Amino acid sequence: MKRIYLDHGATTPLHPEVLEAMLPYFGQVFGNPSSVHSFGREARRALDESREKTALALGAAPEEIIFTSGGTEANNLAIQGVAEALSARGRHLITSAVEHHAVLDTVKALGKRGYAVTLLPVDGCGMVNPGDLKQAIRDDTVLVSVMTANNEIGTVQPIEDLARICRERGVYFHTDAVQAIGNIPLNLKEWPVDLLSLSAHKFYGPKGVGALFVRRGTKLAKLAFGGGQERKMRPGTENLPGIVGLAKAIELAVTDIPARSTSMAALRDHLIASLMEQIEKVRLNGHPVQRLPGNVNVSVSYVEGESLLLDLDLKGIAASSGSACTSGSLEASHVLMACGLDHQTAHGSLRLTLGHGNTLEEVDYTVATLKESVARLRGMSSLYKSYRREVDKSRHAGEETICITKK
Ligand SMILES: *Cc1c(COP(=O)(O)O)cnc(C)c1O
């Protein structure tokens, strides 16, 4: 059976050129970058070059890049690191209700340690309102963290506006840009962002490696203690194959973003339109326009998202309901709930995230498969049957009314 991968929001396949760039670092180039001999120097050179490439792709300086084990660690370092470094100045943090758990749970943990936390609400499309941020900032606010683009519904936030508000108020601004890299042009020379998280496996790089951008002069405490690696901010011998892979992947990811994201967005819009046309009672979640080029998130009434997922998987199609972390649990997505969906609608949600390898044929096959699956599942739903009866009744009622007025 041909398999179709529509879960690029969870992870992406490794780009062949990234694999090729990494291979020597699993083989002959094995030195420790901290060693002074030629083996070490060879590794150090690769580490330095990777840092330069990563910085260049972001519009940052090499010394502003700290390599981490991924997006989760980058978010933890940013939030806990700033909170601790500035704890004498203030203990108030602001984030949004739709963040990834790597941000939300970190902020919650700080809440238990005596920090005050404000969660900014979002509108029905998952957007944060800059006016709400302005109102939420207090004298003791030390950090605002709002994600660049949402992993579940794809909504892209007005990051430049939010960051500018923070800059004007002298408050640090962090953004989880894990989903944005390679999808949205992003330049840290122009964005007044102080800290930014990224993760290689979300842009065709390897898993287990990420980075935190920390603008020069930003106060940050470290979370782990040990060696002097990463300017002492992230001790431990570097994951050199991973870092080399991240650098190659980000170099490829930021090349030609406008052209590639335009064609992906066209495929996305075709998928959305086909779902809406071919299946009744489908609702698009997230923003219709300000959304990631590969993200489709829909609620299908009268079916469980999980049941749809299983059906799709049997047909070789990989999708997701909500985020990979919430699926498997019975809790409804906090993102969809924050957008104002009721529990039932949130449970009927399905996320299809496109990647560069997906084709029109795959998308059309997916829509046809979903249509069948929805019909089968609704056939077993008593709620759907009573809905249909209501629709038919009102249709008959409508006909009668027409007859009466005719008479
Ligand atoms: C995947 C993801 C993360 C976590 O990154 P890991 O490298 O898997 O730890 C954080 N934030 C967002 C928005 C993500 O999509």
Task: Find the CATH number of the domain harbouring 206.
Answer: 3.40.640.10
CA–centroid distance, residue 178 to ligand 1 (Å) = 6
Q: Do both 270 and 246 map to the same domain?
A: no
Number of domains in the chain: 2
Q: Indicate the length of the chain as a whole number.
A: 407
Which numbered atom of ligand 1 lies nearest the CA of 149? 13
Instruction: Tell me if residue 325 is catalytic.
Output: yes
Domain assignment present for 358: yes
**Contact assessment for residue 199 and residue 69, using Cβ atoms and an 8 Å cutoff:** no
Same domain, residue pair 89 and 182: yes
- The whole-angstrom separation of Cα 140 and Cα 188 is 26
Q: Is 71 a pocket residue for ligand 1 (Cβ < 6 Å)?
A: yes
Do both 274 and 153 map to the same domain? Answer: no
Measured in Å, residue 199 CA sits from the centre of ligand 1 at 6
Same domain, 241 and 293: no
**Token reading at 182:** 């390679």
Best residue among 151, 157, 184 to mutate for probing ligand 1's pocket (most ligand atoms within 8 Å of CB) is 151
Q: Which atom of ligand 1 is nearest to the CA of 74?
A: 9
> What is the number of the ligand 1 atom nearest to the C-alpha of 150?
13
Reduced to 3 states (helix: H, G, I; strand: E, B; else coil), residue 332 is coil
Task: Write down the pTM of the prediction.
Answer: 0.95
Same domain, 211 and 294: no
- The answer to whether residues 59 and 193 belong to one domain is yes
- Residue 386 lies in domain: 257-396
Which strand (E) or helix (H) includes residue 44? helix 38-58
244 and 267 fall within a common domain: no
Query: Tens of pLDDT along the chain (407 residues)?
Result: 889 999 999 999 999 999 999 999 999 999 999 999 999 999 999 999 999 999 999 999 999 999 999 999 999 999 999 999 999 999 999 999 999 999 999 999 999 999 999 999 999 999 999 999 999 999 999 999 999 999 999 999 999 999 999 999 999 999 999 999 999 999 999 999 999 999 999 999 999 999 999 999 999 999 999 999 999 999 999 999 999 999 999 999 999 899 999 999 999 999 999 999 999 999 999 999 999 999 999 999 999 889 999 999 999 999 998 644 455 556 789 999 999 999 888 888 999 999 999 999 999 999 999 999 999 999 998 889 899 898 888 876 654 433 333 33
Bridge-partner residues for 68, per DSSP?
Answer: 210
Task: Kindly report the three-state secondary structure assignment for every residue of 112-161.
Answer: HCCCEEEEECCCCCCCCCHHHHHHHCCCCEEEEECCCECCCCCEECCHHH
Q: Are 182 and 136 in contact (CB under 8 A)?
A: no
Please identify, among 223, 253, 283, the residue that sits at the C-terminal boundary of a domain.
253
Q: Is 403 among the domain residues?
A: no
Instruction: Classify residue 7 by its DSSP letter.
Output: B
User: In this structure, is residue 200 part of a structural domain?
Assistant: yes
Please list, in sequence order, all residues whose beta carbon lies within 8 angstroms of the beta carbon of residue 227, skipping any fewer than 6 positions away: 34, 235, 236, 237
- Asked if residue 209 lies in contact with residue 249, where contact means CB atoms within 8 angstroms, the answer is no
Half-sphere exposure of 340 (CA within 13 A, CB side): 9
- The answer on 288 and 213 residing in a single domain is no
Nearest to 281, CA basis, from 345, 331, 325, 343: 345
293 lines ligand 1 (CB under 6 A): no
Q: Are 3 and 318 in contact, with CB atoms under 8 Å apart?
A: yes
Cα separation, 193 vs 186, in Å, equals: 11
CA of 93 to the centre of ligand 1 (A): 20
Q: Residue 392 has which token pair? A: 């038919």
For residues 151 and 245, give the distance between their C-alpha atoms in angstroms, rounded to a whole number: 22
Q: How far apart are CA 156 and CA 301, in angstroms?
A: 25
Which amino acid is present at 190?
A: E
Between β-strands 295-300 and 349-353, what pairing exists: parallel, antiparallel or unpaired?
Answer: antiparallel
Nearest Cα neighbor of 32 from 44, 22, 21 is: 44
Of 253, 272, 288, which one is at a domain's C-terminal end? 253
Q: Where a domain ends, among 231, 253, 275?
A: 253
My answer on whether 207 and 284 are in the same domain is no
